[in-house]
Chain A
Amino acid sequence: MGNEDAVFYSRVLTELTLSFHIIYATIGVGVPLMIMIAQWVGIKKNDEHYILLARRWARGFVITVAVGVVTGTAIGLQLSLLWPNFMELAGNVIALPLFMETFAFFFEAIFLGIYLYTWDRFENQKKHLLLLVPVAIGASFSAVFITIVNAFMNAPRGFDLVNGELVNINPIIAMFNPAMPTKVAHVVITAYMTSAFILAAIAAFRLLKGSNHIYHKKALHLTMKLGLVFAIASAIIGDFSGKYLAEYQPEKLAAAEWHFETKEGAELLLLGVLKDGEPKYAIKVPFGLSILAHNNPKAEVIGLDQFPVDEQPPLYIHYLFNIMVFIGMWMVLLAAWYLIGMRRGWKNVRTNWFRWLIVLGGPLVVLAIESGWWLAEVGRQPWILRHIMRVDEAATTSGQVDVMLMLFALLYLILGIGSVVVLRRMFKRNPVERELEERHMEKGGDVQ
């Protein structure tokens, strides 16, 4: 196997592992916060329904965490196994947040163990809730730290390269690189948004499948409310991410927008196809791109013409960008519609087809997460460390990557199917109606 093969298979294996890990990791970041909010609402309103909601979410969460942990361990090791040259360089400059991340993992894992095994052990419910706080903090900080590493790959700072030697290394400057604020904020907030809408999808699905219990209505209402807040926040921070790109990584933005020539008052293209390098059938928003990039319809936006051909990212990221943004806008709309409708007593938000739309929102937000990451990572190509190291210089020279790729693909297939099957069975065997009866919890307030 020549080294091109090793590079190719390493890329595929990294893409596969990360794309799989990110689903569970995103849930791992967002769901603890949702559990916390539900339990808190339950204690505040003295409503056992919310407490049970928190408890059932926590049970499901255990399964997704387990898959998150094993795939995370896989990607952590694979970074060194598949990209040894990159890790050698990165280890010198950006090891600090990676190292701090392990403490976040410790914190999360320890308190998750305690939280799960101490239901009903405390007289005072609030004490039990308190145990969840470190879990949520640990999970969110895992995301913060790993995203800092990824931000560094996009905007390497904090060192100088003199004749191939690293000098003047400053780990703190490396961490607080220009990509970091928008990237960290966007990743964390979209994780909350994703979790809220996935949980909403589950509640809506139960309502569709014949259970008309108020418990599910409360779950739906709570998660849609949270979803709306985080979806609006995601869109706003997403806009800042675009402005970051315009300033620091213009080639990524230009490729994502099919913006070929540098010009003032640039228009925004949505969808469309490329024919002989020319965008066709795209929806044009005059001055849109200039506004998106610089908040000014007249501003100049750098196009791909400023970059040598071998440093331009693949152009298909345009679609990834469109998918992410459309889904983001759609979810804002859907959640707002639902909440206004509930307040005004509209009938359409209680219909089956509307609930199906909410169910569809679950897979859609996951798709948004995936396309967002693919946009960010593919848009950095051909660099692994922007303007410092190319992907093909970073890869392993090992000849067995293809076999490992097949093994891991099989593993993820089994884990993916396994987690879905186990989750379904867990909740089917123990439906919420029965659990409420057993616990004599038929009290509780109305939906709000």
Chain B
Amino acid sequence: MNLEIIGISVLWTFLFGYILVGAIDFGAGFFNAYSLLTGKERILTKVIQRYLSPVWEVTNVFLVFFFVGIIGFFPKTAFYYGTTLLVPVSFGIILLAIRGSYYAFETYGARRHKGYSFMYGLAGLLIPASLSIVLTISEGGFIEMVDGHPVLDYWELFTSPLTWSIVVLSLSATLYISAVFLTWYANKAGDREATDLLRKYALIWSLPTIITAGGIIFELSNHNYEHYANIQTFWPMFLISFILFIGTVWLFWRRRHYGWAFGMLAGQFAFAFFGYGASHYPYLLYPYLTIYDSFTNPAMAISLIVAFILGLCLLIPSLILLMRLFLFNKAYVKGKKNFHA
């Protein structure tokens, strides 16, 4: 294994972490807003306050870690992606700001405002959509070099079926992941009503998720044949992913072992995500940028990796402590105790 691969693996793993934890958070916001319309908000608001409020900042740091890390390991990405992504990423930042301030202003500030909850829910859906654009662009064909500067072709981007299928996938996957996790959480909290409701959402969103995921592979055959062909060579990973998907849905259907079901879902996305990433190798941006020609110098790479290992020694025990206190603590999950400042 070379330094380039270590670097991209670390970043890809943290991006995966962000997608998983972020999806739970984004989806919860959407369900919350939706239930406001149907008058069931009491059920979900509690879960959001008990589970999501203490950890939203941690979720955000996963994203920060990814974009700081990618500039560190692959500084040339700043030139290509930085120049072209101004608009989509700026929208992403504004949406993230709406969510961050919701937690602070609404939950801690103890102020209820319907409009804000709707914005919070809507922002949760738009963030995956706006950030997933980056993945679409990385497939190539949307960036041209004009006078030595990369320029994004918006018309091409927004008329491409690939763009829209990735957007749809990001939305339905967000809702699916979130619903599965929240079902498990609500079940642990002993909240029957919420469990049933969320289980229904999970089953509803499982189907579009798997259909669009398949559809994207098909689109790729038109858009980027090289990548499409690469994906074929990784078929076992996608197969395992599919089997795990069936497992989750089956357990949900039978109303059993929600914890296991969530574990399988994480596995499903992990296999698909890493299979996709591996087949993307070695490109960061087709056809301009590979992990090799954009890589930083060896001195920096080694010091980043050393810092990363030291950082993990701090991070992992702290994360375990956090999860034990808020995710696996019976009294807390059930809402018997409230220790908020």
Contact = CB atoms under 8 A, between A and B. Distances in A.
Interface string B59-85: 011011101110111111011011111
A88 B78 contact: yes
B86 A76 contact: no
Nearest to B315: A106
Interface residues of B, number: 65
B100 A69 contact: yes
Max count, chain A CB within 10 A of own CB: residue among B58, B63, B73: B58
Interface in A73-115: 73-74, 76-78, 80-85, 87-93, 95-96, 98-103, 105-107, 109-115
B210 interface: no
B55 interface: yes
Contacts of B339: 117-121
Contact of A73 (B64, B79, B299, B325): B64
Interface in A123-143: 134
Given A99-B304, A118-B325, A422-B104, A110 B58 contact: yes
B1 interface: no
Contacts of A67: 100-101, 104
Nearest to A398: B86
B201 interface: no
Contact of B72 (A78, A83, A91): A91
Interface in B303-341: 303-304, 307-308, 311, 314-315, 318-319, 321-322, 325-326, 332, 337, 339-341
Interface string B280-310: 0000000000000000110110011001100
Interface string A174-212: 000000000000000000000000000000000000000
A109 B103 CA distance: 14
Contact of B57 (A96, A112, A415): A112
Given A88-B79, A118-B325, A113 B315 contact: no
B97 A411 contact: yes
B97 A100 contact: no
A70 B96 contact: yes
Nearest to A395: B83
Contacts of B326: 113, 117
A85 B76 CA distance: 9
B299 A170 contact: yes
Interface stretch (B107-115, B167-175, B190-198, B236-244): B107-115
Contact of B104 (A62, A87, A91): A62
Nearest to B296: A92
Nearest to B294: A88
B322 A114 contact: yes
A353 B314 CA distance: 49
B83 A88 contact: no
A396 interface: yes
A429 B338 CA distance: 20
Contacts of A90: 75
A400 B54 contact: no
B94 interface: yes
Contacts of B96: 70, 73
A107 B64 contact: no
Interface residues on A, range: 35 or more
A100 B60 contact: no
Contacts of B101: 66-67, 70, 415, 418-419
B54 A106 contact: no
Contacts of A85: 78-79
Max count, chain B CB within 10 A of own CB: residue among A95, A101, A169, A400: A95
B209 to A, nearest CB: 28
B57 A119 contact: no
B307 A96 contact: yes
A107 B307 contact: no
Contact of A98 (B72, B84, B105, B341): B72
A59 interface: yes
Contacts of B58: 106, 109-110, 113
Given A69-B60, A117-B340, A111 B108 contact: no
B90 A408 contact: yes
B89 interface: yes
Contact of A169 (B64, B149, B299): B299
A76 to B, nearest CB: 6
A236 interface: no
A101 B68 contact: yes
Contacts of B105: 63, 66, 418-419, 422
B211 interface: no
Contact of A171 (B69, B71, B299): B299
Contacts of B109: 63, 422, 425-426
A102 B65 contact: yes
Contacts of A289: none
A147 interface: no
A35 to B, nearest CB: 10
B311 A100 contact: yes
B57 A109 contact: yes
A172 interface: yes
28 contacts: A63-B104, A63-B108, A65-B57, A69-B100, A73-B96, A77-B90, A81-B82, A81-B89, A82-B86, A84-B79, A87-B71, A96-B72, A96-B307, A98-B68, A98-B71, A99-B68, A100-B307, A101-B68, A102-B65, A103-B314, A109-B61, A114-B322, A116-B340, A118-B325, A169-B300, A398-B83, A418-B105, A426-B109
Given A100-B307, A116-B341, 19 more contacts: A63-B104, A73-B60, A76-B64, A80-B78, A85-B79, A93-B300, A99-B68, A105-B64, A106-B315, A106-B318, A113-B57, A113-B326, A114-B321, A116-B54, A117-B340, A397-B83, A419-B101, A422-B109, A425-B111
Nearest 3 A-B pairs (CB), nearest first? A91-B75, A66-B104, A95-B72
